[in-house]
């Protein structure tokens, strides 16, 4: 039996990937504004935050994360709608950056690792 056809080879190839992707970056976003805001994030983001509310967003430690705020938004139960600031083509789950003006926070996992923060 060749090594690549053995169960050990499958274990050796897939288990390290599991450990790499099992770590998460947890980002806590808090609304300190006196009104409701939406936290938009790439990848896979979009949530509303009432005044004083905090949400934890989890991302694989292999990803870079982009977060920005959205205000004056209205969304239906399907996640379609519009925001006055930071709109994502009318979607709650952003597929691309929000419309200007936005203040973008970029968190790069490789820099956090290099600085010993991850």
pLDDT tens for the chain, 118 residues long, are: 444 444 433 444 444 444 444 467 788 888 998 999 888 888 877 788 899 999 888 877 777 888 888 889 998 988 888 999 888 888 888 887 777 777 878 877 777 667 776 5
Question: What radius of gyration do the chain's Cα atoms show?
Answer: 19
Is-contact 110 65, C-beta < 8 A? Answer: no
Mention the CATH class of domain 24-114.
mainly beta
Q: Give Dmax over CA atoms of the chain in angstroms.
A: 67
**Structure-block tokens of residue 13:** 């190839």
């Amino acid at each position: 039996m060749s090594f690549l056809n053995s169960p050990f080879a499958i274990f050796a190839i897939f288990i390290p990937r599991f450990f790499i992707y099992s770590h998460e970056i947890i980002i806590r976003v808090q609304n300190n504004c006196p009104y409701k805001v939406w936290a938009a994030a790439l990848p896979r983001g979009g949530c509303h935050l009432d005044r004083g509310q905090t949400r934890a967003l989890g991302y694989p430690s292999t990803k870079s994360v982009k977060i920005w705020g959205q205000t004056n938004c209205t969304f239906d139960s399907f996640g379609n709608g519009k925001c006055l600031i930071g709109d994502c083509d009318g979607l709650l789950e952003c597929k691309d950056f929000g419309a200007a003006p936005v203040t973008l926070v970029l968190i790069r996992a490789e820099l956090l690792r290099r600085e010993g923060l991850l």
